[in-house]
Structures are given as C-alpha cells and as structure tokens.
Amino acid sequence: MRVLSRSRQVRPRALVVLAMVAGMLALLFPVQATSGPWGERTLTGSSANATPVPGRTATGSISIMKAAGDSLPTVTITSPTGGESWEALSINTITYEVADPDTPPDSITIALAYSTDSGGSWTDIATSQANTGFYHWTLPDVSTVQARVRVTANDGVLEGSASSGDFEILRPASQNSLSVGTASGSSGGQATIILGLLNNDVVKEFQTDISFNTSVVVFSRGEVADRGTGMSFTVTTMGDDALRVSMSCEGASYLATGAGSIASLTFDLVGVPGSQTAITPASTMLIAPEGRSLPVTAEAGSISIHTSGEETAPTMRIFVLKNPARVRTIQVFVTSDRTLDAAPTVTTELGDVVMSALDALERTYLGILHVPESNASTMLTASGTSGSQSGEASITVEF
C-alpha cells in the first residue's frame, strides 16, 4: 500500500520535469516553417535567436512531408471551348491543361464526361485516365446544339473540374433513297424493274406504295433481291393500279448501311407498242431498329413497250455512298436497265473510276473514288453501251 501511494506522488512531478525540458528546448531552438515543393514543410532553428549558453551554438532543420492535395487542381479545357460543330460518330480530340502546385502531374488522374443539355446531366466518357493533356473521343450518335465536355482532375485528395461552352454535335445528312428502275419489252411479254435502296442508316422495316397505268402494264409478281435476302417480303394489291411493298428484318437483325437492289417487281406488258407508264413510289417509309422513322427520298422509274424492231438505249443510273469514317472516300454505284457490252465508264475531273461488276444479274457495278480536301465537289459521269445504243448519267457530289 505504501508503494502505491508513493507512485501517485511521482507522476505529477515527472510531468512537470518533461514540461520544463520542452520549454528550454523551445527557447534554445526557435523554429520557422518554410514551404518546399509538392507538400514538403521545412522547420529551421538557430541558437542565434535563443538565449546564449556559454560555449554552445546549434543549427538544424526538420523536413515534414504533408499529404498531397492541400491545393485544389485547376483545369482549363482548350478544345472544345464552345461554338464548334463536330459530327456524330466522328473522332475528335479533347485537350486540356491541369495545374496543381503540390502534386506531380503524373500523380493526377483524369475523368471525362459529356452533356447534351448544357450541363444539366452528364454521361461518362472515360474515368481514371492518365494526365496526358488530351483524349481522343468517339462522339455519340446524337444531334444537339447544347453539347459540353467536362474534365475532372483528382490529385488523390481533392478534385477540380471545368466544362466547355456549348458546341454542336450534328448527324450528317441522311442519304437514304429509294430508286425504282426502268425496263422495256415487247407487248405480250414481261418486264422486270428493280427496287434499289441506298441507306446511310441501318433499317429494320421498309414500305412503299407503287402506282402504274394498267392500260400499259399489269402486276404479275414480286421477289426479294440481293440485299433484301433474308427479309420478310409482302406485296399487297391496292386496287388495279397500285400495290404496297412491305419488307422487314426478323428478330434482332437489320439491313446494314449500303446500296443495291432489295426487291424486283415483274409486270405483264399489255399496252400497245410505243406506250409507256411511270412506276411511281409514294408514302415510302424506312424504320430504324429502335422504331424511329428515317428520312428517305424516292425516285420513280418507268416501263415502256417497244415498237416493232426497235432497239433501245440502256438507261443508266449513278449514285454514291459516303463512308462516315472517311467521308472523302466514296463508293460509286452504276446500274443499267439493259445488259451492257462491258463495265460502264465513269469519268471525273480527277480521272476515271475503275468499275467492276457487283451484281451481274441486276446489272450493278461498283468503284471507289478518293476526293482530295482541295475539292469542295466533284462531278461523275457514267456511260455504257448495249449493242448499237449507249446511255449516260451524271451526279455531282458535294462535301
């Protein structure tokens, strides 16, 4: 019991002694903090500022490393800044600068996001990216004039971010078009026309109404062709002088972008020699896989009945398809309503385009043309020969 009592008396005395020693050290060596790079704090002291002790002087320093992130990272977006027009599904580069006085650049991680409503909501582009100062972004398939990008820098403790001004994401003008072919034959025989589709959008369903003059032709039958293979196909008569063609892809399938024939329609020729009828599409519809209606144009064709011994010139058609990823490399398609003696010739101011048979049965030919950046447009002219007759067609492509 006596020992315990003595222990209680020693503790306060020990604390007093420790406090006295600490006070003496503070008097002998006053310290001052100075800043070092990226979180270092240096404490220095000198006996010159202390009460002199005969025969003793001392100087020293203590370096204390603090945790990174005391200062907020600052972000500056240099592209886009606002007002730009970027094309949907194209690849553009986001550039930015990050400043953080107390964190090495390679210790900072970057997150990027985009908005289509002026920053009202955000969708991640990428997270946990290295701080490189740039990011190659494949834009979403949207159309908006209120697009923004946001860059967020994280130094391990704090985050700083910045967003761009509003810029435009635009979809390229859709190149969806239906073309009805032309054909001819002798009275009492048959003629077959081709329905060709050029679609820059993927397609789930297709429908068009076809009208004609029943004093010249009478509908006989319809069939899928080429690109339409695998699609369901229905032809419904709408009175004597019109019919509806409906096609759709089953299940999760869809018609990919491209150009070429999708169906054929065969007619009995009942008119007198020299008569002719337009084959006119109307109320044409294309439906995307998600159910939205797609813009589409339609071009009429025709069927004519030969006069006795007549040899007719081939009717040529030319159209092009731009590659969204390489818009200046275009696919050139040429079709003819008659069998040609050789592949058609396609000429431009840049030189001739080499054409090869894509579908001999449907008389369709394909070539590739690269247009330099210096050309705002180019004109293509296709010509072909069948027997003693020749045909020609032209198109101007703008960029």
- pLDDT at position 271 is 93
Q: Work out the pLDDT band at 88, boundaries 50, 70, 90.
A: confident
- Considering only residues 373 and 2, tell me which one the structure prediction assigns the higher pLDDT: 373
Q: Work out the pLDDT band at 375, boundaries 50, 70, 90.
A: confident
The architecture that CATH gives domain 74-170 is Sandwich (2.60)
- pLDDT at position 321 is 81
Q: Work out the pLDDT band at 34, boundaries 50, 70, 90.
A: very low
| Cβ proximity of 276 and 212 under 8 Å | no
Summarize pLDDT for 324-334 with one digit per residue, the tens: 667 688 889 99
- pLDDT at position 311 is 63
pLDDT higher than threshold 80 for residue 356: yes
CA dihedral 126, 128, 130, 135 (to 10 degrees): 10
- Considering only residues 87 and 309, tell me which one the structure prediction assigns the higher pLDDT: 87
CATH topology identical between 175-310 and 312-399: yes
Using CA atoms, how far apart are residues 156 and 160, in angstroms rounded to an integer?
A: 11
User: What is the residue type of 194?
Assistant: I
Q: Is 95 left (phi over 0), alpha (psi -120 to 50) or beta?
A: beta
Q: How many CA atoms lie within 13 A of 342 on its CB side?
A: 5
- pLDDT at position 42 is 42
- pLDDT at position 313 is 76
- pLDDT at position 336 is 86
Backbone angles phi, psi at 78, to 5 degrees: -100, -15
- What is the number of other CB atoms lying within 10 angstroms of the CB of residue 178? 22
Backbone angles phi, psi at 309, to 5 degrees: 75, 10
Using CA atoms, how far apart are residues 386 and 364, in angstroms rounded to an integer?
A: 14
Q: Which residues, other chains included, contact 393 with Cβ-Cβ below 8 Å and sequence gap of 6+?
A: 316, 317, 318, 334, 381, 382
Q: Which residues, other chains included, contact 139 with Cβ-Cβ below 8 Å and sequence gap of 6+?
A: 86, 87, 88, 89, 90, 91, 92, 169
Q: Work out the pLDDT band at 40, boundaries 50, 70, 90.
A: very low
The β-bridge partners of 370 are: 329
- pLDDT at position 361 is 62
First to last CA, the chain: 103
Average pLDDT over residues 379-387: 88
The kind and range of the H/E element at 11 are helix 2-28
Q: Which residues, other chains included, contact 78 with Cβ-Cβ below 8 Å and sequence gap of 6+?
A: 95, 96, 97
User: Average pLDDT over the chain, rounded to whole?
Assistant: 82
Q: How long a stretch of residues is the chain?
A: 399
| Cβ proximity of 36 and 65 under 8 Å | no
DSSP symbol at 12: H
Summarize pLDDT for 254-282 with one digit per residue, the tens: 999 888 889 999 999 999 988 999 999 99
- pLDDT at position 310 is 59
pLDDT higher than threshold 80 for residue 69: no
Using CA atoms, how far apart are residues 167 and 172, in angstroms rounded to an integer?
A: 16
Q: Which residues of 239-270 are buried (b: 16+ CB within 10 A; e: fewer)?
A: eebbbebbbbbeeeebbebbbbbbbbbebbbe
DSSP 223-268: EE-GGGTTSEEEEEE-SSSEEEEEEE--TT--B-SEEEEEEEEEEE
| Cβ proximity of 329 and 209 under 8 Å | no
Pick the CATH number of 312-399 from 3.30.70.2200, 3.10.310.30, 2.60.40.10, 3.30.470.20: 2.60.40.10
The architecture that CATH gives domain 175-310 is Sandwich (2.60)
Taking the domains of the chain in order of start, what are their residue ranges? Answer: 2-65, 74-170, 175-310, 312-399
DSSP 256-321: -SEEEEEEEEEEEE-SPTT-EEEEEEEEEEEE-TTS-EE--EEE-EEEEEPPTT--PPPPEEEEEE
Summarize pLDDT for 205-239 with one digit per residue, the tens: 999 999 999 999 999 999 998 889 899 999 999 98
| Cβ proximity of 376 and 346 under 8 Å | no
